[in-house]
Chains A and B, each alone.
Chain A
Amino acid sequence: EVQLVESGGGLVQPGRSMKLSCAASGFTFNNYDMAWVCQAPKKGLEWVATISYDGSSTYYRDSVKGRFTISRDNAKSTLYLQMDSLRSEDTATYYCARGGELGYYFDYWGQGVMVTVSS
């Protein structure tokens, strides 16, 4: 059974940093691209970042470029999102998601972790 378990969320002040982790199990982690998708309270879904199966390629939405860094440790089957210079508009639930086998859709999602940016 595919499982994705996020951790690391919480309350953080504007301008500070936070690192999210996603522990994967139930599949061969280094065979799949992985992504982070966020959802602001009572809002829709927004793709944040994607990393290729081997970590060689990364992609970001414009609003987080230069502030967020997606990375992975295939030996530990873990995905990360380093978030720097956080803003109030980054407040959201962040989901870890597995990339689809036939395209850049997301076939399995974690339960999500809440990040609140506020003073």
Chain B
Amino acid sequence: DIQMTQSPASLSASLGETVTIECRASEDIYNGLAWYQQKPGKSPQLLIYNANSLHTGVPSRFSGSGSGTQYSLKINSLQSEDVASYFCQQYYDYPWTFGGGTKLELK
């Protein structure tokens, strides 16, 4: 199975700051990567697919980049509504696997 390692596990940032979350795959996943946001008590919501494509309705302050085994999610100008946990997922190879998550809090 492809292992997905996210970092950091938790993150504290100020309003208006730029935040970056990393995801490393145990082998090349050829941009088969998605990012999800999960607010407390809610279900996950898709943010990014194919490593850098923004899902419908997602604010443009979210962006994804990367290739090979290294990927990142960037949030520009952090808003209070961005407080959530973020998960990456590889779908290049079965079984589909998720990273352990990054919990983002406000400083």
CB closest residue in chain A, given B99: A44
Name the distance in Å between B64's Cβ and chain A's nearest Cβ: 12
A61 at the interface (CB under 8 A from B): yes
List the interface of chain A (C-beta within 8 A of B). 37, 44-47, 50, 59, 61-62, 95, 100, 102-112
Q: Are B43 and A95 in touch, CB under 8 angstroms?
A: yes
What is the distance, in angstroms, from A18's C-beta to the closest C-beta of chain B? Answer: 20
Do A103 and B32 contact each other (CB < 8 Å), given the known contacts A44-B101, A109-B44? yes
**A–B Cβ pairs within 8 angstroms, 8 of them:** A45-B36, A45-B44, A59-B94, A100-B91, A104-B94, A105-B46, A106-B89, A111-B42
The answer to whether B71 has its CB under 8 Å from any CB of chain A is no
The range of chain B's interface size is: 20 to 34
A111: which B residues are within 8 A, CB to CB? Answer: 42-43
Most chain-B CB neighbours within 10 Å: which of A46, A100, A112?
A100
Question: Contact: A62 with B95, CB < 8 Å?
Answer: yes
Contact of B96 among A44, A102, A104, A108 (CB under 8 A): A104
Known A45-B87, A103-B50; judge A109-B45 contact (CB<8 A).
Answer: yes
Which residues of B in the span 69-107 have a Cβ within 8 Å of any Cβ on A? 87, 89, 91, 94-101
For the complex, what is the distance from the CA of A61 to the CA of B87, rounded to whole Å? Answer: 19
Chain A residues near B98 (CB, 8 Å)?
A: 44-47
Instruction: Across the A-B interface, give the 3 residue pairs with the lowest CB-CB distance, nearest first.
Output: A105-B34, A104-B91, A109-B43
On chain B, the residues within 8 Å of A59 by CB distance are 94-95
**Residue among B43, B50, B99, B100 with max Cβ neighbours from chain A (10 Å):** B43
Interface residues of B in 34-62 (CB under 8 A from A): 34, 36, 42-46, 49-50, 53, 55
B43 contacts A103, C-beta separation under 8 Å: no
Q: Smallest Cβ distance from A37 to chain B, in angstroms?
A: 8
